[in-house]
A and B are shown apart, each in its own frame.
Chain A
Amino acid sequence: MIELRNVSLTYQRGPGVFDINFKINAGELAFLVGPSGAGKSTVLKLMYAELVPQEGEVEINGYITSRIRRNRIPGLRRTLGLVFQDFRLLPDRNAYDNVALPLHIMGLPHREIRERTYSALGDVGLSERVHHYPRELSGGEQQRVAIARAVVKNPDIILADEPTGNLDAATALETLDLLTYLAEDQGCTVVVATHDYTLMTKKRGRLIEISEGRLLD
């Protein structure tokens, strides 16, 4: 469950988000939509405690980020799966090592890491590309590796920031299918921030619209 209560944050160099209120229930697929600069990424960053609200509260997976102690932030993030527009894959590691990374962070046994990593890569259709480095993969494949990295730790919540921003229309739809599958079939709470309004017309999900840092009714 994710809940933002009267959340406001102003950046030093410009506007931020103002009086944001919404609640996303467990297993829900939600699209946070708005034009570039509307505050979508800010809202996501508030969720994974990259930013702390100046006013109000963000509650996620039982953590309240404005009250959370600094040393517990890694613990919060380990319960989340994060997907980014620029994939954020480590360029010097192959697909397997990238996906296995969160499991190493969790300190799981070697055998479990191997099984879960191969399984996650299989789920996103990359069983044949396990040993390829990011530079050897297409944009769509890189994003699928990033999604595999997000789901490999069986997170309760997946936060995706413009996950289709760097992809062509067909690949974008494939990626969206994957995220929808995670919400509908795996029971994950999935929040997708996107500026692409056409995308969500193809999928059934809740719409949260934001513009100039404020939610639209």
Chain B
Amino acid sequence: MINKVLFLLSEGLRSLWRARLPALGSMLTITLTIMLFGGAYVLFGNFDRATRRLQSQYRIDVFFDPLLNNADAFVHYQKLKDIDGIASTEFISKERAAAIFEREFGEDVVSVLGTNPLPAGAIIHVARGYRTARRINRIADNIAAISNVTDVAYRGELVRILERYLRFAVYGGLVMGLLTLLGAIFLVSNTIRLSIYAKRETIETLSLLGASPAFIRLPFLVEGLLQGLLGSALAVGAILALIDVMNYVLEQFVLYRLIRPPQMALALIIFGVLLGIVGSARSIGKFINLRLLENR
């Protein structure tokens, strides 16, 4: 049995070598497909990480009517705690607001104006499960509906824009990946079909010598599998190299490094191998079955 399997594997390799030019074409298409999917995967992993970082720092600043004193503002502040999606709240009295102002702008507003015009307010930290642009918007709307809240400030727009670009990049990558996926299946299938056609006499001879359909088909399946394996290995190498190059460039400008999503290489290689197998199985099923072995 082992001898038979080794023989069939070597037949697959021999077949791949004989049809090396068309095989190279379909292998490179697999590489392109895997690179598009892998690129979308890397983008998704990194955008997701970046937005999570922003979201984890996320907070909502609430400002009450400047005419309210601290005690009245605190009464309204208590209502914030009833709103869904809030992890913690912090009351900012008028005096603390003035201290923050001084720290940020270097001016003591009370000594300049003789009075403290700054409103009391609150800092809201959003709960973990609510850190998406849509949910944060809803929390902000609920806060704004509380009486005597005059302003609600948050960086929701930035998150929203990031999410939109992330979605665009991932969907775009997936659509392009799907299109090349179809192309890759077609090309692998066509390469195997050419290989089957070139070997039609060999297939007939094998059949006459008593080879089972599985014995005849397996080398072609191995051929497709190897195309998928080599194509995806090339793609994974290219993606890893691109990540390194981009990190080198990014290092010059920002404090951000692209990460390699976990298990990426393995997932992409499995994907490539499956692609090769599906492509060859398509031709094997169609061509060997219908044209060569059903001559009875």
Contacts of B129 in A (CB 8 A): none
Which one of B43-51, B198-206, B278-286 contacts A? B198-206
Contact flags A70-114 to B (C-beta < 8 A → 1, else 0): 110111111110100000101010000000011011111110010
Using a CB-CB cutoff of 8 Å, which residues 36-86 of chain A contact chain B? 48-52, 70-71, 73-80, 82
A-contacting 9-mer, from B59-67, B132-140, B210-218? B210-218
Q: Which residues of A contact B291 (CB under 8 A)?
A: none
Complex Cα–Cα for A51 and B210 (A): 15
Contacts of A101 in B (CB 8 A): 206, 209
B3 lies within 8 A of A109 (CB):
yes
- Give the CA-CA distance A82 to B210 in the complex, in Å: 10
Is the beta-carbon distance between A82 and B208 smaller than 8 angstroms? yes
For chain A, the bracket of interface size reads 20 to 34
In the assembled complex, B1 has its CB within 8 A of some CB on chain A: yes
Is B53 an interface position by the 8 A CB rule? no
Question: Are the C-beta atoms of B209 and A102 separated by less than 8 Å?
Answer: yes
Chain A residues with CB below 8 A from B4, complex form: 104, 107
Task: Check A90 against B210 for contact (C-beta < 8 Å).
Answer: no
Determine whether the beta carbon of A107 is less than 8 Å from that of B3: yes
For chain A residues 103-149, which have a beta carbon within 8 Å of chain B? 104-110, 113, 149
Q: Is the CB of A105 within 8 A of B296?
A: no
Known contacts A51-B296, A52-B296; is-contact A105 B210 (Cβ 8 Å): yes
Secondary structure type dominating chain B contacts: helix
A90 touches B209 (CB 8 A): no
Q: Which residue of A lies closest to B208 (CB)?
A: A82
Contact flags (1/0) for A143-182 with B, using CB distance below 8 Å? 0000001000000000000000000000000000000000
Q: Which A-chain residue is minimally distant from B212 (CB atoms)?
A: A74
Q: Please give, as numbers and ranges, the residues of chain A lying within 8 Å of B211 by CB-CB distance.
A: 74, 105
Partner of B210, one of A70, A78, A113: A78
| A positions within 8 Å CB-CB of B | 48-52, 70-71, 73-80, 82, 88, 90, 92, 101-102, 104-110, 113, 149
Could you tell me which B residues sit within 8 Å of A by CB distance?
A: 1, 3-4, 7, 14, 18, 201-202, 204-213, 215, 295-296
Nearest 6 pairs of A and B residues by beta carbon:
A78-B210, A77-B210, A107-B4, A74-B212, A104-B7, A105-B211
Q: Are A48 and B208 in contact (CB under 8 A)?
A: yes
Of B14, B206, B215, B295, the residue contacting A50 (CB under 8 A) is: B295
User: How many angstroms between the C-alpha atoms of A79 and B296 in the bound complex?
Assistant: 19
A102: chain B residues at CB < 8 Å are: 209-210
- Picked from B7, B202, B208, B295, the residue with its CB within 8 Å of the CB of A77 is B208
Bound-state CA distance A50–B208 (Å) is: 8
Query: Assuming A49-B296, A52-B296, A92-B18, is B209 touching A82 (CB within 8 A)?
Result: yes
How many whole Å from B211's CB to the nearest CB in chain A? 5
Distance in angstroms from B293 CB to nearest chain A CB is: 9
Residues of the A chain whose Cβ atoms lie less than 8 Å from the Cβ of B205: 88, 90
Minimum CB distance partner of A70 in chain B: B296
Contact across chains for A105 and B3 when beta carbons are under 8 A apart: no
11 contacts between A and B (CB under 8 A): A49-B296, A50-B295, A73-B296, A74-B212, A74-B213, A82-B209, A90-B202, A92-B18, A104-B4, A107-B4, A109-B3
Asked whether B209 lies within 8 Å of A105 as measured between CB atoms, the reply is yes
Q: Is there contact, CB below 8 Å, between B18 and A107?
A: no
Chain B minimum-CB-distance residue to A111? B3
CB pair B208 A107 closer than 8 Å = no
